[in-house]
Amino acid sequence: MSRLVITRRSLLTTSSASAGLFLIAGGAQLLRTEPNPFKVTMTTLFWVGEPSTDENDFIPNDQSYWDKDWQANYGGVDDPERRDGHWPADFTPKQNPFYVALPFGEFTEQNELKKDARRIPWYHSGLDPLLKNRWVEINRDGRSCFAQWQDVGPCGEDDFGFVFGKADKPLNTFDTRAGLDVSPAVWHYLGMQDNGHAGWRFVDAAAVPAGPWTDIVTTLGNNR
């Protein structure tokens, strides 16, 4: 079997949008913006245990924004090149292998709640976790995948406008200017071979259909 070459670096693929419609690169899949619109953004691969290199702006992923013991709590390195279907080949994960990162975190450096966090649509006092484990739908070329929000990025944690507001593009200026990181399980399920555009949106847990993303559901709260 040929070795899959995976990289964050690629040429940006042009996407276009018109009123009520988005065009996703890599295919002519149109997404309606109403109701609950998808946001289309450059999408890159990341994984639990990913080492820090120039490919990811030297950000290690043995820890996550919300879990200082992420790799241990997941069960190992979620190697994108050693897979058993949607799962890592070398171990059974303890947490959902379908996960994503989006560029907003709710805490300040002093571990206090940011003022913007109170503007999150589902915010209410005492809700913990506020963001971790939230469900996201990712759509590419007419194929939908569901995943849980488990880290903050790519390359930013203060992009409220892109994650919750009306901004169409992320603030991230690193490399491909991605607005969404996806796990190997999401990457392979969507048939991605290189960085490309995908649409994403938040979904309520009750609306998530059964699939490989519900075989193991992550419930661990904040472990900062």
**CATH code for the domain in which residue 103 is found:** 2.40.40.10
Query: What pLDDT shows up at residue 127?
Result: 97
On whether residue 3 sits in a domain, the answer given is no
Domain assignment of residue 221, yes or no: no
pTM for this entry: 0.83
Residue 45 inside a domain? The answer is: yes
Tell me which residue of 21, 26, 16, 17 sits closest to 195, measured CA to CA.
Answer: 26
Nearest to 136 by CA among 90, 172, 174, 96: 96
Q: Which domain holds residue 141?
A: 16-214
Q: Which of 25-29, 53-57, 151-155 has the lowest mean pLDDT?
A: 25-29
H or E stretch at 88: strand 87-88
- The answer to the question of residue 223 being in a domain is no
The model's confidence at residue 72, banded by pLDDT at 50, 70 and 90, is: very high
CA–CA separation, 166 vs 134, rounded Å? Answer: 19
User: What whole-number distance in Å separates Cα of residue 49 and Cα of residue 74?
Assistant: 9
Which residues are within 8 A (CB) of 124 and not within 5 positions of it... i.e. 6 or more apart?
none
Does residue 82 form part of some domain? yes
**Predicted local distance difference test score (pLDDT) of residue 54:** 59
Is residue 5 predicted with pLDDT exceeding 60? no
Residue 59 — very low, low, confident or very high, per pLDDT cuts 50/70/90?
Answer: low
Cβ atoms of residues 43 and 195 within 8 Å: yes
Q: Please indicate, yes or no, if residue 2 is contained in any of the structural domains.
A: no
Q: Give the chain's mean pLDDT.
A: 85
Mean pLDDT lowest among 9-13, 35-39, 189-193: 9-13
* Residue 58 C-beta-side C-alpha neighbours within 13 Å: 0
**205 phi and psi angles, rounded to 5 deg:** -55, -35
Could you give the number of structural domains in the chain? Answer: 1
Domain membership flag for residue 35 = yes
Nearest Cα to Cα of residue 141 among 58, 9, 29 = 29
Whether the per-residue pLDDT at 144 is higher than 90: the answer is yes
Evaluate whether residue 5 is within a structural domain.
no
Diameter of the chain by CA atoms? Answer: 52
